Amino acid sequence: MAGFTVNATVLKQKGRELYCFGMSSRRLRDLCYVTPRTAENPEEVQRILNVKRAIEIGEYIKQATSLLPNAIVVSLTDEVRVEPTGTEGVKSLHFPNDSGKFAYILDGQHRLEGFKHSGGIEFDLPVVAIIKADDTLRGKIFADINSKQERVSDVHLLSLYYQIKDLPVEETPVMDVVQRINADVDSPLKGRIRMLDTDRGTWIKNVAMKQWLSPHLTTGGVLATKTGAEKAQIIKEYFKAIAHLWPVAWGDLGKFNLCRPIGFEIMLGLLGTVKHRCDLNCGRQYTAEAFSSQMEPLRNAVIDLPAPVGGKLTLDWQRGPMGILSNRAARMFITRHLSDLLRKADETE
């Protein structure tokens, strides 16, 4: 097939030329190739393709507002000719044909692969190319790109997506509640949820609060039918009750786990059961007093630990004895056990 030419802006770095140009994702896929680093090809630099990640990117590409502004970085083979154009700072890259593999991907293989799962959507992508790079230079570029960049924190990303109103439809109301309980002056969690990377003196990340509140606030949850303001108020009252029941442990992160992620996960895991007790015994009143009365059986509750750990654990939230809760299975066991204690209290009342 006939060759084609692309004009590229030339950037000079450390005595080398980089060629910057745009190209359609479809044509770029035809030209690019990857040989993953494996036992059979130990001299290669690229990772094995993660199909799941490519599919996720394909779903992202389908979104109406999706953009991929980061450049695909490639190493061109010596079959690609570089020629002057007569314009300063611009050179032409001549590719011998449309179907040959002339560009080894150093960064962006999953973005490019994502177009195979985009439902036919294609668009132009920025490309930065080097030419005639040896294995050492290719390896250094790949290693530098993937080791020097710092991943954006989950706290920052969640706050940003909430700010620009780009969260999934059911997540935004949850974040509305998280925002309220972190900002309201009557909230026991005022200023205690990390909404920004720069926040100090916080106890829990916004990501974790969203995760543990979502089952209660979204479709099918025990508070799903409440308004946003009602949901926030109920959560505030719930934590006021927790602070009342364990005043020594509340706010002391040095000695106790109550206001650490372990404590939040366990206590929010119990919210449905406690709310149900309020429905039965407190006329559907969701005040701090009502919650306190219905959680009273948990004050200094003694938990029989299963084998192979064994022994008993008093629910006073001390960090030392609660070290066994470092894994999720143990925390789920404690949550179920405490929920069972509350249900048994209903049977005896």
- Determine the pLDDT at residue 1: 56
- Determine the pLDDT at residue 344: 83
Q: Which residue numbers in the chain have pLDDT < 50?
A: none
Q: Same domain for 259 and 125?
A: no
Separation in Å, CA 127 to CA 18, 74, 107, 136: 10, 7, 10, 21
Q: Same domain for 221 and 139?
A: no
Q: Same domain for 137 and 255?
A: no
Residue 43 inside a domain? The answer is: yes
Q: Same domain for 309 and 182?
A: yes
Question: 3-class DSSP state for residue 169?
Answer: coil
Residue 9 inside a domain? The answer is: yes
Structure tokens of 76? 């061109």
Q: Same domain for 222 and 276?
A: yes
How many structural domains does the chain have?
Answer: 2
Residue 50 inside a domain? The answer is: yes
Measured distance CA(333)–CA(309) in Å, rounded = 12
- Determine the pLDDT at residue 51: 87
Residue 160 inside a domain? The answer is: no
Residue 156 inside a domain? The answer is: no
Last residue of a domain, one of 148, 182, 201: 148
Q: Same domain for 198 and 320?
A: yes
Beta bridge partners of 13: 16
Structure tokens of 345? 């209290």
Q: Same domain for 136 and 270?
A: no
Separation in Å, CA 190 to CA 100, 187, 254, 292: 60, 5, 19, 20
Beta bridge partners of 129: 19, 74
Measured distance CA(114)–CA(59) in Å, rounded = 8
* Count of residues in the chain: 349
**In terms of residue numbers, what domain contains 18?**
4-148
Q: Same domain for 264 and 122?
A: no
pLDDT tens for each residue of 130-164: 997 777 777 777 777 766 666 778 999 899 888 87
Residue 163 inside a domain? The answer is: no
- Determine the pLDDT at residue 10: 96
- Determine the pLDDT at residue 46: 61
Q: Same domain for 339 and 203?
A: yes
Measured distance CA(338)–CA(271) in Å, rounded = 11
Structure tokens of 12? 């000079």
Question: 3-class DSSP state for residue 175?
Answer: helix
Q: Same domain for 68 and 177?
A: no
Q: pTM of whole model > 0.85? A: no
High-pLDDT (> 70) share of the chain, %: 91
Last residue of a domain, one of 148, 182, 211: 148
Residue 40 inside a domain? The answer is: yes
Cα end-to-end distance, the chain, whole Å? 85
- Determine the pLDDT at residue 151: 73
Last residue of a domain, one of 114, 148, 182: 148
8 Å CB contact between 299 and 245: yes
Q: Same domain for 309 and 192?
A: yes
Residue 154 inside a domain? The answer is: no
Question: 3-class DSSP state for residue 266?
Answer: helix
Pairing of strands 32-33, 103-107: parallel
pLDDT tens for each residue of 296-310: 999 988 888 776 666
Q: Same domain for 18 and 131?
A: yes
